[in-house]
Amino acid sequence: MTEVRKPLIAANWKMYKGPRETRDFVGRFAGLYPPRTDRTIVFFPPAISIPAFLDATVGRPDLQVGVQDVHADLEGAHTGAISAPMAAETGVGWGLAGHSERRSEFGDDDADVAGKLRRLLDAGLKPILCVGETLEERTAGRLEEVLRRQIEAALGGLGGRRWSPPVLAYEPVWAIGTGETASPADASEAHAIVREVRLEAPGDAARVVILYGGSVKPDNIDALLGARGVDGVLVGGASLEPASFARICDGRFDPQLL
């Protein structure tokens, strides 16, 4: 039986919204966005707001939740950090690894990202591996090399673990929070590269899910979701306001377009 593709639409709230604002958002968003079975919605609130998110969504199991970051160790003297098993215990189902802000602000290198990916899988969470090039790397013609390096390094740490289906987010660093968006054609080109790297890896490569992230907004969601090879989006700034994110979650998607 062929599976019907459905888009994955994810909100990365970064360091916005404590528990109170989280509850307020969910109350308003739920009124604007009734459950739909033809798409998957996942929120990444700050870790401290996860219990509030789960409380507020008791009647809305379609609104899923994940953790923005975990440490590559299981426990230890790492002030401020949380581990993948701790996150799993709170009830989240997903986890991000390799976000460019973790790489640039917190110094996460490819080895850290590989460790985090591995821990997320071991904790039974669904990881989303974020990759993307800087403007400098793009201008120097290094797009493919950078994406390949980031993905291969992360896969190299899996040690035979099954990651199925693999979910990746292509987030060009120059498009994050800048208002600059990759054109649908740019996104398709990069997604084809990501898909090819995955295809060379063992496992269920054909089913790889690739999200686009970087200044996704209500006014470009239809074009981006309509681009070949785009299976969904990872949204920062425009996911912070209920009406804006509800519109994004209703974006037009063609399940036939691969």
Helix axes 19-32, 242-249, angle to 10 degrees: 50
* For ligand 13P, the closer CB: 149 or 217: 217
Tell me: does residue 12 bind ligand 13P (CB under 6 A).
Answer: yes
Bridge partners of 97, per DSSP, are: 129
With contacts defined by CB under 6 A, name the span among 32-40, 53-61, 120-128, 230-238 that binds ligand 13P. 230-238
Among all chains, which residue has been given the structure tokens 């994110």?
A: 245
Contacts of ligand 13P in 33-62 (CB under 6 A): none
Residue type (1 letter), 10: A
Q: How far apart are the first and last CA of the chain?
A: 17
Element (H, E) at 211: strand 209-213
Q: Which is closer to ligand 13P, CB of 16 or CB of 258?
A: 16
Of 12 and 64, CB closest to ligand 13P: 12
Strand partners, 224: none
Q: Show the binding pattern over residues 137-176: x = contacts ligand 13P (CB under 6 A), - = does not.
A: ----------------------------------x----x
Structure tokens at 131: 């990759």
# of chain residues touching ligand 13P (CB under 6 A): 14
Give the tokens for residue 54. 């789960």
Q: CB–CB of 222/251 below 8 Å?
A: yes
Active site residue 171: yes
Assigned token pair, 148: 């390949």
Annotated catalytic, 191? no
Q: Residues 66, 213, 232, 251: which binds ligand 13P (CB under 6 A)?
A: 213
Piece of the chain touching ligand 13P by CB under 6 A; list 86-94, 149-157, 208-216, 218-226:
208-216
Question: Toward ligand 13P, which CB reaches closer, 12 or 83?
Answer: 12
Q: Interface with ligand 13P includes 132 (CB under 6 A)?
A: no
DSSP 212-245: EESS--TTTHHHHHTSTT--EEEESGGGSSHHHH
- Spot the catalytic one: 71, 101, 133, 171: 171
Cβ distance to ligand 13P smaller for residue 209 or 258 = 209
What is the H or E stretch that residue 169 is in?
strand 167-170
Phi, psi at residue 98, to the nearest 5°?
85, 15
Considering only 32-40, 147-155, 222-230, 236-244, which stretch makes contact with ligand 13P by CB under 6 A? 236-244
Question: Scanning residues 57 to 116, which ones bind ligand 13P (CB under 6 A)?
Answer: 99
Answer whether the bond into residue 165 is a cis peptide, omega within 30°.
yes
Among candidates 55, 68, 60, which has minimal Cα distance to 22? Answer: 55
| Least spacing, CB of residue 212 vs ligand 13P, in Å | 10
Query: According to the binding rule CB under 6 A, does residue 224 interact with ligand 13P?
Result: no
* Catalytic residue annotation: 99, 171
Chain contacts with ligand 13P (rule: CB under 6 A): 12, 99, 171, 176-177, 213-216, 234-238
